Amino acid sequence: MFYRSVACWVTKRGRTMGSGTWSLFILFGLALWKANGENKKCSYTFLVPEQKITGPICAARGYSTDKDRVTRLDVAAVRDLLSKQRREMETLKLVVDVDGNLVNEMKLLRKESRNMNSRVTQLYMQLLHEIIRKRDNSLELAQLETRILNATTESLRLASRYRELEAKYAALSAVVNNQSVLIGALEERCMQVYSRRHEHPPMGPPLVQVVPENIPVNVPRFTNEIQRDNTRGILFYSMMTTACFSLLFFLLSGPFRDCLEAQEASHSTSGMYLIKPDEAERPVQVWCEQDIDNGGWTVIQSRRDGSVNFFRNWDNYKSGFGNIDGEYWLGLEGIYNLGRQGDYKLLVELEDWMGKKVYAQYSSFHLEPESESYRLRLGTYQGNAGDSLSSHNGKQFTTLDRDKDAFSGNCAHFHKGGWWYNACGQANLNGVWYTGGVYRSKFQDGIFWADYGGGFYSMKTVRMMIRPID
């Protein structure tokens, strides 16, 4: 009876039961059959695999004393066990997922660790390279400091030498300041001696009769004294600084053919440079003017303060004399070698005692060799100072000991300098440097440019410079 009811219930719900459910019901059926059967003495043992119960489980209704029958408590226990196993499986699944994430994170950390090791190695190499570079810089700095100390020592030595020369200069300046007086006295004695032998003493050269249109006015005083330098302290430091920089400069660049080549080599600052013309035997030091008329001018003569005596003999004018950063004469041989390299033009810059500057420019300029006494060759004139040099064009150079002028006497004797005298001429840029402009002298022996100031006006500064024709 009970078996039938169980069978019916199983048949109605059989569509939703799995194979594990059927095995359980078979077990229940056999147990019931054994209890109600025909006293058969056989038994069966079924090994049913543990499966998840998804459907209903039939149990005997009512109370049963058979210990082999499945009760609702057993089913509940089975369900609790299954639920517990399900929870454990879910927990294990979560644990597995967490472990998987940890594994992935460990892999990422290992990868980042490898990248970090590579970066640390790279930074270490960079640091090592930087340490080596700084060590090299330290060595270079030490070498530079040594060079600076050497240059400082040399500057101190030059300063000491300059003080000695300054003392000698102070002694010589007294003699130079009395130059005109001494020469005048000698001239008087010569005239007296000559007058004893001749009835008519020789006359000096004719005075310049040019009356310039723009003669400088407001002259403070008449004088024939050479200015004493009141700025020796400033000049001393300037000379020391210039000498140091020039010494370093000559070690690094040059020599050049002329100042234009120095400018083309990116030396655009005015100052002392070393040049060596093509046919010159040795290099010479010159002042390059890079700030006037596009630069590239080689200064061949400079007058500014009367610190250098220009009343010299032929050998001095041939080889050159003076201070490159002050008053100097480049030398006839050096000027000749410069001019024979190509076509050059001449610029004469003049400044009066009112601070006004004028100029005279000649389209071409060169000298003939010493065999022709360095004869002057000029081109056409342009400027605002007046043309006082064309009358000297084609004339040979005259000094105190070599007379090549057209005058019966020696123009160098009367004008106190060396020049391309005619008889004697309209310009005397190598004459005596007088202060104040207008001066008193028996002869026109100042630094004059006849067409600007006349023959008795001595210019304050004069520069002669040449440059290749564009």
Q: d(Cα 285, Cα 275) in Å, to the nearest integer?
A: 6
Instruction: State whether the Cα torsion 289-295-299-304 is positive or negative.
Output: negative
| Averaged pLDDT, 91-110 | 87
pLDDT greater at residue 418 or residue 25: 418
More confident residue, 216 or 119: 119
CATH 3.90.215.10 at 253-468, yes or no: yes
Q: What does R_g of the chain's alpha carbons equal in angstroms? A: 59
Instruction: For 46-62, write each residue's pLDDT tens digit.
Output: 455 555 555 555 555 55
The more confident residue out of 203 and 133 is 133
H/E segment holding residue 275: strand 271-275
Higher pLDDT, 77 or 234: 77
Mean pLDDT of the chain: 79
Strand 297-303 relative to strand 461-468: parallel, antiparallel, unpaired?
antiparallel
Encoding tokens for residue 420? 């391309």
Summarised one tens digit per residue, pLDDT across range 269-300 is 999 999 999 888 889 999 999 999 999 999 99
Please tell me the predicted confidence (pLDDT) of residue 255: 86
461 pairs with which residues across the strands? 351
Q: How many CA atoms lie less than 13 Å away from 120 in the CB half-sphere?
A: 6
120, 127, 175, 321 from 123: Cα distances, Å: 5, 6, 75, 63
| HSE-CB of 399 using CA atoms within 13 angstroms | 15
Q: What is the pLDDT of residue 192?
A: 66
Residue 96's pLDDT band, with cuts at 50, 70 and 90, is confident
Element (H, E) at 469: none
Per-residue pLDDT reduced to its tens digit, 173-230: 666 556 656 666 666 666 666 555 555 555 667 666 554 555 565 444 344 444 444 4
Indicate if the pLDDT at residue 81 is higher than 80. Answer: yes
Give the largest Cα separation in the chain, rounded.
197
**Vertex 237 angle, CA 235 and 240, to 5°:** 105
Per-residue pLDDT, 402? 94
Percent share of the chain, pLDDT over 70: 68
Q: Return the higher-pLDDT residue of 145 and 242.
A: 145
Q: What is the pTM of this model?
A: 0.56
Least confident among 16-25, 141-150, 253-262, 314-323:
16-25
Q: Give per-residue pLDDT as tens, 3-42.
A: 444 443 344 444 444 444 545 555 555 555 555 554 444 5
pLDDT of residue 139: 86
Q: pLDDT band for 426, please (50, 70, 90 cuts).
A: very high
Looking at per-residue pLDDT, the higher value among 104 and 202 belongs to: 104
User: What is residue 275's predicted lDDT score, i.e. its pLDDT?
Assistant: 92
pLDDT on residue 39:
47
pLDDT at 228: 40
- In contact, 374 and 336? CB cutoff 8 Å: yes
Burial category of 7 from C-beta neighbours within 10 Å (exposed 0-12, middle 13-18, buried 19 and up)? middle
- Range with lowest mean pLDDT among 251-265, 275-289, 334-348, 394-408: 251-265
% of the chain with per-residue pLDDT over 90: 40
User: How far, in Å, CA of 437 to CA of 446, rounded?
Assistant: 9
- Structure tokens that stand for 64 in this block: 């049963």
List pLDDT tens digits, range 357-373. Answer: 999 999 999 999 999 99
For tokens 């033009």, the residue is: 345
- Report which residue type is found at 133: R
Q: What pLDDT was estimated at residue 102?
A: 86
Q: Would you mind telling me the total number of residues written for the chain in this entry?
A: 470
What's the confidence (pLDDT) of residue 237? Answer: 45
Q: Between the ranges 8-12, 50-54, 231-235, 302-306, where is the mean pLDDT highest?
A: 302-306
Confidence of residue 98 (pLDDT cuts 50, 70, 90): confident
Selection from 36, 33, 54 nearest residue 44 by Cα: 33
Among 152-156, 416-420, 425-429, the minimum mean pLDDT is found in 152-156
What is the DSSP annotation of 54-101?
-S-----SS----TTS--HHHHHHHHHHHHHHHHHHHHHHHHHHHHHH
H/E element, 466:
strand 461-468
Q: Which of 86, 93, 114 is nearest to 101 (CA)?
A: 93
Of 77, 83, 29, 73, which is closest to residue 52 (Cα–Cα)?
83
Contacts of 116 (CB under 8 A, 6+ apart): none
